[in-house]
Amino acid sequence: LAVKRPVNATKLGDAYAKAVDHLCSSRLAIVSRTLVEIHKEGWEDRIEEINTTVKSVKRAAKSKAKGKRAVKCSRTTADETTEAGPSGTRHSSAEENAAEEAD
């Protein structure tokens, strides 16, 4: 029986990075071809929209290459955060504060 060596994590990471890069490049190629077609047909009002899309795809590709993730801002306030109660049920801290004031 042949013993297989474990997969090198660095090689696996490099392969993943190349795949992501190829995918982003393919998307950019599709968008640029579409842009050329639109320009030929004279749809200038759509060109700005597509340029914005191209820029956002490029930014996404750069941030993926750097290993950054987009952080979404939470829309909840501090009073609306939920915490697990003693019985394991989830309730908001605002409800908890109201219950404490009632006591």
Q: Which tens digit of pLDDT belongs to each residue from 63-103? A: 877 765 544 444 555 544 455 555 555 555 566 666 666 65
Question: What average pLDDT does the segment 13-39 reach?
Answer: 78
| Domain carrying residue 52 | 9-66
pLDDT score of 52 more than 60:
yes
Token couple for 86: 């003693």
pTM over 0.85: no
Count the domains in the chain. Answer: 1
Answer yes or no: is 91 within a domain. no
Q: Greater confidence, 17 or 6? A: 17
Answer yes or no: is 90 within a domain. no
Distance CA 52, CA 58 (A): 10
Q: Calculate the average pLDDT of the chain.
A: 68
The pLDDT, as a whole number, for residue 70 is 47
Q: Report CA-CA distances (Å) from 75 to 47, 69, 70, 79, 83.
A: 33, 18, 16, 11, 16
Answer yes or no: is 44 within a domain. yes
Question: What average pLDDT does the segment 4-22 reach?
Answer: 73
* Tokens 């950019």, located at residue: 28
Answer yes or no: is 82 within a domain. no
Question: What average pLDDT does the segment 26-48 reach?
Answer: 75
